Amino acid sequence: MKLVSAIIKPFKLDDVRSALSDIGVQGVTVTEVKGFGRQRGHTELYRGAEYVVDFLPKLKLEIATSSDQVEQIVDTIISAASTGKIGDGKIFVSELDQVVRIRTGETGEEAL
């Protein structure tokens, strides 16, 4: 089992959710996060004063999945979230040791 974590631009959420739903992904956790990568934030003008925004608003999607569906999920997120500009985000794939469904007590892939 794997955990796919993707950091995307907030306005791409509906596109990504729809694309993931089309390939049969049933569960996604979304968290509002802030951060920066190569773009190092940006400057904004507010009431005549310029200030630096170090941390940009992003969304973090987490998807627990079976190992055989990881490549399809990653490809789907890339195609749906890409704008071709800096700051599109990143995808991290990590190993999941155990998953337990609280309601039924199911474990492993049955809990996904």
User: Mind listing the pLDDT tens digit for each residue in 31-74?
Assistant: 999 887 776 656 666 677 766 667 788 999 999 999 999 999 99
How many C-beta atoms surround the C-beta of residue 75 within 10 A?
A: 13
CA 80 – CA 77 distance, rounded (Å): 5
Mean pLDDT over all residues of the chain?
A: 90
**CB distance 62 to 29 below 8 Å:** yes
CA 46 – CA 94 distance, rounded (Å): 40
Question: Domain ranges in the chain?
Answer: 2-111
**CB distance 6 to 91 below 8 Å:** yes
Whether pLDDT at 77 is above 70: yes
Span 70-88, average pLDDT:
94
Closest listed residue to residue 7, CA positions, set 88, 74, 82: 88
Q: Does domain 2-111 have CATH number 1.20.120.1230?
A: no
Instruction: Look up tokens 């049955």; give the residue.
Output: 110
The predicted pLDDT at position 90 comes to: 96
**CB distance 62 to 68 below 8 Å:** no
The predicted pLDDT at position 40 comes to: 65
Whole-model pTM: value is 0.86
**CB distance 59 to 32 below 8 Å:** yes
The predicted pLDDT at position 79 comes to: 97
The predicted pLDDT at position 45 comes to: 65
Say which residue, 52 or 99, is predicted with more confidence: 99
